[in-house]
Amino acid sequence: MALTLAELCAKKGIILPSAIKKTNPTIKIEEPISQKEKTFSLDIELDIDQSQAVELALAGKSFCLIGKAGTGKTTTEREIVKALLKNNGKSSHIFRIQGTGERVEGPAAAVVSYTRVATGNSKKAICKDKELEEKFFHNITTIHNLLEYAPVYYWDDEKQKETMRFIPARDSGNPLTVKVIAFEESSMIDLTLWEKIYDAMMHGTQCIFIGDINQLPPVFGPSILNYALVQLPIVELRTVYRQKFNSTVLKNAHNILEGKSLEVAPDFKIIEGGEKQHGQVITCLLLMNSLQKWLKDGTYDPKEDIILSPFNVGALGTENLNNHIAGFVNPGEVFEIIAGIRKFYLAVGDRIMYAKQVGTVTCIRKNGLYSGKATKPPSFHMNRFGKMVGVDELDEMDTEEDSVVVEYDLEYLTAEQLKELTHQASHVVEIELETGETLTLSKAGDLGAGNFSLGYALTVHKSQGSEWRHVIIVLHKDHSVMAFNELLYTAVTRAAERITIVAKKFMLDKAIATRRLKGDTIREKVEFFNSNKMVEGIFCRKE
């Protein structure tokens, strides 16, 4: 059903009952409900903190589940889900299946994440239990899919035409019927998205905020976890379990939090590159030489590994790194693509990120509706910077021989058709996401830098909620403004098996010593949030 602009603009924020005067409660760190450890499955024995979390969940309480890397947050979450299914097996919700749009009925509980990559990690962990895989698989999804975001067409009075935007189908008029929502990586959920969630929740919905307060906050503004830490009971998981695997990655993650120096080991390497601090360009070239060697010996696998940088721009920014890496990881016929003001170079087989989702390019073809500037013809000699390699100057100059610009008799086109033509990209790009979903992208907006990029290198912010086998971190002196504890900790905890850091020791020392969020303990961080009066007007549960 189409919505009018007035209807879309009717709700701008959280709607709260005006008759009820709400105050921010004083936070209380709960004492363990039971001093006896309990077993909630045949092979998992929960510690006191984990048992407390399960008991709070069974009691219907909203709370925060906080823990550093390796403290068993996912294990606890799995046992919470299992316990809730046993207690509330009759309630149900109709879930939209991610990627297909089909519907399936499932238990009235959901585990949601900000990105599909994070959702995939949750599914792998929770669905290790065969019973949960059978009953709960589609209950683990992204926040946007739970809210059933979909294109809606409405009349724009200002532009005098019908326009489309993506909005949630679930809202106060069509609320979610789930009784429990667990928010994975809740530090990534900003307040704008939380407003949509809050609006769609029924009163009395139980919310469980899961996160690591030592990671990066969202790029735009504070996260809902900031507020939840102030308003709700907190269960902190304190026992680190993965240390039994002798992981230097995990040990160094905790060293970062404790302000200690990093330890070097076979699974945790630091490459300083000599005494001299080279500029970004030289450092980039040295890194590319290493990556090509690692690609040959199996140390680097672009399908399982990632390069992380603090910035998009610069010689060591993700855009430049991606162009270099794509050239030797996926050599082939390269297409010059124009999407609005953006010009970039792509090949079939490239690993890409589209709308925070990982995918692969499966087809590139000319867009018959495109009427802009002619592009260079595809070539096996063109690199990802648009330069011809291995051909003489004459060949390089003859670049538009096969270019085709579609000509229209503009006199017979309507204003709407003219507008549509200006929105077209030079090529149609087909991609397959890791979920198996296939998409066809032809608009300039679809292929804009904000939505579409190569996926061999990412910023640390965009990496949150994801995990790779081998993570290669770049931290140059030019990145000093971003060299802080939370960024380094977030980057290191993206690795499942191995870390390589390309950085000078003084940069690592600076990052370890510099914190964006004041306080070492949960109590201290909560006091910091309170002191800055960040708790006014935002509520983490809907009574």
Exposed / middle / buried, residue 233 (Cβ in 10 Å: 0-12, 13-18, 19+): middle
Terminal C-alpha separation, the chain: 30
Output b/e per residue, 457-469; b: 16+ Cβ within 10 A: bbbbbbbbbbbbe
Give residue 531's pLDDT.
Answer: 67
Distance between CA atoms of 323 and 187, rounded to whole angstroms?
31
Contact 493, 260 (CB under 8 A): no
The pLDDT of residue 5 is above 50: no
- From 50-59, 158-167, 243-252, 383-392, the region with the lowest mean pLDDT: 158-167
Domains, in order of start, for the chain: 47-241 (3.40.50.300), 248-389+419-513 (3.40.50.300)
Closest CA to 437 of 46, 101, 80: 101
Residues 6+ apart with CB under 8 A from 407: 371
Beta strands in 36-172 (DSSP E): 63-67, 92-96, 103-107, 109-113, 140-142, 149-156, 161-168
CA angle 237, 238, 243 (to 5 degrees): 110
Over the stretch 487-498, which tens digit does the pLDDT of each residue have?
A: 999 999 999 899
Phi, psi values for residue 241, rounded to 5°:
-100, -35
pLDDT band at 529, cuts 50/70/90? low
Give residue 358's pLDDT.
Answer: 86
Distance between CA atoms of 539 and 370, rounded to whole angstroms?
48
Over the stretch 446-492, which tens digit does the pLDDT of each residue have?
A: 899 888 999 999 999 988 878 899 999 999 999 999 999 999 999 99
Tokens (6 digits) for 27: 């936070």
The pLDDT of residue 252 is above 90: yes
- The overall pTM is greater than 0.95: no
Give residue 422's pLDDT.
Answer: 58
- Count CB atoms within 10 A of the CB of residue 45: 12
Tokens (6 digits) for 108: 């009235």
Give residue 451's pLDDT.
Answer: 86
Mean pLDDT of 398-418: 46
